[in-house]
Amino acid sequence: MKITIFGANGQIGQLLVKQALDAGYDVTAYTRRHNALNIEHEKLQSVVGSLTDQEKLKEAIIGRDAVLSALGPAMSMKRKVSDLPIAEAHKAIISVMEEYGIKRFITLGTPAISAKEDVKQLATVLPSLMPRMFMPTGYAEMKEIEKLLKTAKLDWTIVRIIDPNAKTDGNGYGISFGDTKSKMSVSRYNAAKCMLDAATKDEWVHKMPIVFNN
């Protein structure tokens, strides 16, 4: 499988790149600056560009089987919402994918993005309420990404994470689609593993699994 990973130099993104290479995939890592990713492998190539550079996006996306985004919003507590760079990146990526018929898209999100299956529980309510109050830009990014994907002509999956700071990987990961009880934390390794697994799970198309440590 040939995949492209955005946010490849982030904490989850680097794990995702390593896991994909270990699985034997051909990986294109997209970064915004040279030498941002300290990984070398015969099946790894890098594309460097801004997140809205259409020509660079085409170079990274055309001919791939799936696109995965580990991009996340800045953890800003500023009350004024201005730019939404991660949502704009998603808009640009979706545009190229739709133009060239690349269908499978997996991206990171939080339960601030609502799924039709969601029932009221801590895992679906708290991660929406707290960012809205204390990190309004991050919340606005999630809601704009939700709007973009729900209207996109793609086979998308949103892997929703809560507090990706668990100190251990636990006994693998579990998922909830929002309709069953979910735990409130996940390791970055398990978040990456869930994203990579999603690329081959047709039953997760147009679904939003919440991933957590077992």
Angle at 9 between CA 7 and CA 14, to 5 degrees: 100
CATH number, domain 2-213, options 2.160.20.10, 3.40.50.720, 3.30.1330.40, 3.40.50.10950: 3.40.50.720
pTM: 0.93
Residue 122 has pLDDT above 90, yes or no: no
The CA distance from 136 to 131, in Å, is 6
Residue 77 has pLDDT above 60, yes or no: no
Q: Report the chain's mean pLDDT, rounded to a whole number.
A: 92
- For the residues 180-186, what does the mean pLDDT come to? 92
Quick one: which H or E segment has residue 33? none
Residue 165: what pLDDT? 82
Residue 157 has pLDDT above 60, yes or no: yes
- For the residues 191-200, what does the mean pLDDT come to? 97
